[in-house]
Amino acid sequence: MLTKKEIIRLLEEIATYMELKGENAFKISAYRKAAQSLETDERTLDEIEDVTTLKNIGKGVGEVINTYIATQEAPVLDALKAEVPSGLIPLLKIPGLGSKRIARLYKELDITDKASFQAACEAGKVSELSGFGKKTEEKYLVAVKELGAKKDRYPIDQMIGLNKVISDYLMQIPDIERFEVAGSFRRMKEMSKDLDYIISTEAPLKVQAQLLEIPQLVEKVAVGETKVSLTLSYDDETIGVDFRMIAPDAFYHTLQHFTGSKDHNIRIRQLAKDKGEKVSEYGIEQPDGSLLQLESEEAIYRHFNTPWIAPSMREDGSEFDRDLSAIITLEDMRGDIHMHTTASDGAFSLREMVEANIAKGYDYMCITDHSQSLRVANGLSVERLLKQRDEIHTLNAEYDEIDIYSGIEMDILPDGTLDYDDEVLAQLDYVIAAIHQSFNQSEAEIMKRLEVACRNPYVRHIAHPTGRIIGKRKGYEPNMEQLIALCRETGTVLEINANPKRLDLSADVLRQNPDLMVTINTDAHHRAHLDFMKYGVATAQKGWVKRQHVLNAMSREAFQTFITQPKQGK
């Protein structure tokens, strides 16, 4: 289903390509203003009968939008892509190098790709242009050398995207009976070196031939009958991928073995040794030399008299010595209490998000659009916020199967004040506070802002407590020990943001604070984002978080009691 967000992305992409081409500024502005008009309109795409009735969307841009809605094609964008050197697009990832600057480099220095930009920086030609200083040139040179270079690790969000591309391809190969991704990615590590796939097949050579035809292929590293190692291109990166072809009877043993971790498998081998057995990727060798091959991972663990251990917890071996029965699971989650709608920067309407949460089987949910100061996300003015609150309460009366609460993700402003007065917050069911700007403040300044939020009687939880983006942005630096103490004192809950770009709080912090009260939320801006919950739960599992310490694992009745009572510190 096409959403307004996809149209907005299309218009912004057209504007970017126009800028790179050096197109007329008024044309570029027309597409950007049209995107902004769609962003600030609270209706979904289906509810807008004629896009040209919106402010700043004229006949020309309207035709581009309508064509894309009808055909999923954008001839204007296709024409621009044919004219603009494709090598310029990856340069947009370099910090401080926007499309306007790239257009100048293209026009004045004939820079068309990474190589020509690096050469120009090394020759000192970039700093000779007005507006480009020597220090800026030096920063660009460092960044362009890193761009596209093979890295030691890649963030989980990037690996999720590549995994989908590969999985979609593998599903089309008829000789594959089943396959699973293994390795650190299956264990849902924040960063992974590569991707590993276990493929069950009776025809490994046929599968091998198909693997060598994958469109993203950059390099054939090693090609054998039972293992194929490739380098694939994805998102302007080159990433290693291993495929292991295995006979069907050994599939789950191979999957368990190559999921790891190394320390986890050492414990498995010790358990086997205690029984006079040996384990390998092919099965369990019995004392009489026969090979036992089981039909599930659960059966493998059961054979060693231990409960099945979720991949996310297979790390240092200590998982075998813990009581895992109380650790939070995806099935324990009773609601999602941080999400966005078309009222701010979400892709779906209030009702659509309600229906999506019902489909998840949740007992309750909180609508928490962005607050007024976050203009880039179409944050809600007080008037719009209270109007939405009334709409939510009306909708809540309509649905018996779920409780719908009105809330807000409120900005903690750089000066330490909050984005709404208490008299406004008192009228909402649930208030989240978050830092979205001025990340470069000192630890003391950041802590002052967080303390103001925690001590506010209406702020229930702090969203994404460090603001990091895994592998891309370090975020701000709170004193985590102080923040946790402050949360305990004031009864404020910290969030595990399940968006795989964030996973914030990290498992490291959680392991150090085993009885910390947390909430796990998707921060969904799209219905599909509700599926992110599994990544947040996996992070909690790595931190040994028990279900009793997860706010939205509470029953419907307990959660209702929690949010209707004043905050209570411990």
Examine the domain organization and report whether 228 and 313 are in the same domain: no
Q: Tell me the average pLDDT across 434-442.
A: 96
Closest Cα partner for 453 from 494, 481, 423?
A: 494
Examine the domain organization and report whether 192 and 315 are in the same domain: no
Question: What confidence score (pLDDT) does residue 236 get?
Answer: 84
328/281 Cα distance (integer angstroms): 29
Closest Cα partner for 335 from 349, 348, 318, 354?
A: 354
Q: What CATH code is carried by the domain that includes residue 234?
A: 3.30.460.10
Q: Tell me the average pLDDT across 373-399.
A: 96
Closest Cα partner for 229 from 237, 238, 435, 375?
A: 238
Q: Does residue 505 have a cis peptide bond before it, meaning omega lies within 30 degrees of 0?
A: yes
Examine the domain organization and report whether 414 and 556 are in the same domain: yes
Q: CB neighbours of 43 closer than 8 A, spacing ≥ 6?
A: 342, 349
* Residue ranges making up the domain that contains 451: 330-564
Examine the domain organization and report whether 218 and 364 are in the same domain: no
Closest Cα partner for 367 from 397, 346, 398?
A: 346
Residue 497 lies in a domain: yes
Q: How many domains does the chain have?
A: 4
Q: Tell me the average pLDDT across 176-187.
A: 98
Residue 251 lies in a domain: no
String of b and e for 489-498 (b: at least 16 CB within 10 Å)?
Answer: ebbbbbbbbb
Among the residue ranges 80-94, 279-293, 416-430, the one predicted with the least confidence is: 80-94
Residue 164 lies in a domain: yes
Tracing tokens 């075998």 back to the chain, one arrives at 320
Checking if the pLDDT of 149 tops 80, the result is: no
Q: What CATH code is carried by the domain that includes residue 89?
A: 1.10.150.110
Examine the domain organization and report whether 355 and 479 are in the same domain: yes
Q: Identify the H or E element spanning 407.
A: strand 403-411
Question: What confidence score (pLDDT) does residue 570 get?
Answer: 65
Residue 46 lies in a domain: yes
Question: What confidence score (pLDDT) does residue 146 get?
Answer: 84
Checking if the pLDDT of 127 tops 80, the result is: yes
130/80 Cα distance (integer angstroms): 27
Which parts of 23-131 are beta strand (E)? none
Domain stops at, among 246, 272, 295: 246
Examine the domain organization and report whether 208 and 304 are in the same domain: no
Q: CA-CA distances (angstroms) from residue 318 to 191, 500, 558?
A: 21, 25, 33
Q: CA-CA distances (angstroms) from residue 109 to 130, 131, 135, 255, 278?
A: 13, 14, 19, 52, 64
Q: Convert the pLDDT of each residue in 239-272 to its tens digit.
A: 999 999 999 999 999 999 999 999 999 999 999 9
436/427 Cα distance (integer angstroms): 23
Examine the domain organization and report whether 447 and 334 are in the same domain: yes
Q: Tell me the average pLDDT across 317-328.
A: 96
Residue 195 lies in a domain: yes
- Arithmetic mean of pLDDT over the chain: 95
**Residue 95 banded pLDDT, cuts 50, 70, 90:** confident
| pTM as predicted | 0.91
Query: Is residue 239 within 8 Å of 229, Cβ to Cβ?
Result: no
111/106 Cα distance (integer angstroms): 5
Checking if the pLDDT of 148 tops 90, the result is: no
Examine the domain organization and report whether 387 and 445 are in the same domain: yes
Examine the domain organization and report whether 390 and 268 are in the same domain: no
Query: Is residue 139 within 8 Å of 96, Cβ to Cβ?
Result: yes
Checking if the pLDDT of 316 tops 70, the result is: yes
CA quadruple 42, 45, 51, 57: dihedral positive or negative? positive
Residue 190 gets which letter from DSSP? S
* Dihedral angle, C-alpha 451, 453, 457, 458, nearest 10 °: -160
Examine the domain organization and report whether 465 and 378 are in the same domain: yes
Question: What confidence score (pLDDT) does residue 76 get?
Answer: 95
Q: CA-CA distances (angstroms) from residue 434 to 74, 378, 491?
A: 37, 16, 16
Checking if the pLDDT of 56 tops 80, the result is: yes
Domain stops at, among 283, 302, 322: 322
Domain stops at, among 101, 123, 146: 146
Question: What confidence score (pLDDT) does residue 150 get?
Answer: 74
Q: What CATH code is carried by the domain that includes residue 485?
A: 3.20.20.140
> Which tokens go with 462?
């702090």
CA quadruple 58, 63, 68, 74: dihedral positive or negative? negative
Q: What CATH code is carried by the domain that includes residue 276?
A: 3.30.210.10
Q: CA-CA distances (angstroms) from residue 556 to 65, 404, 562, 563?
A: 43, 11, 10, 11
Residue 232 lies in a domain: yes
Question: What confidence score (pLDDT) does residue 487 get?
Answer: 97
Coil, strand, or helix at residue 223? strand
End-to-end Cα spacing for the chain = 46
Q: Tell me the average pLDDT across 73-86.
A: 94
Give the strands of the sheet with 291-292, arranged side by side.
278-280, 283-285, 291-292
Closest Cα partner for 543 from 503, 501, 499, 513?
A: 513
558/567 Cα distance (integer angstroms): 14
Q: Tell me the average pLDDT across 144-155.
A: 85
Checking if the pLDDT of 151 tops 90, the result is: no
Residue 252 lies in a domain: no
Examine the domain organization and report whether 282 and 392 are in the same domain: no
Examine the domain organization and report whether 158 and 141 are in the same domain: no
Residue 570 lies in a domain: no
Q: Identify the H or E element spanning 367.
A: strand 364-367
Give the strands of the sheet with 335-336, arranged side by side.
335-336, 364-367, 403-411, 430-434, 459-462, 493-497, 518-521
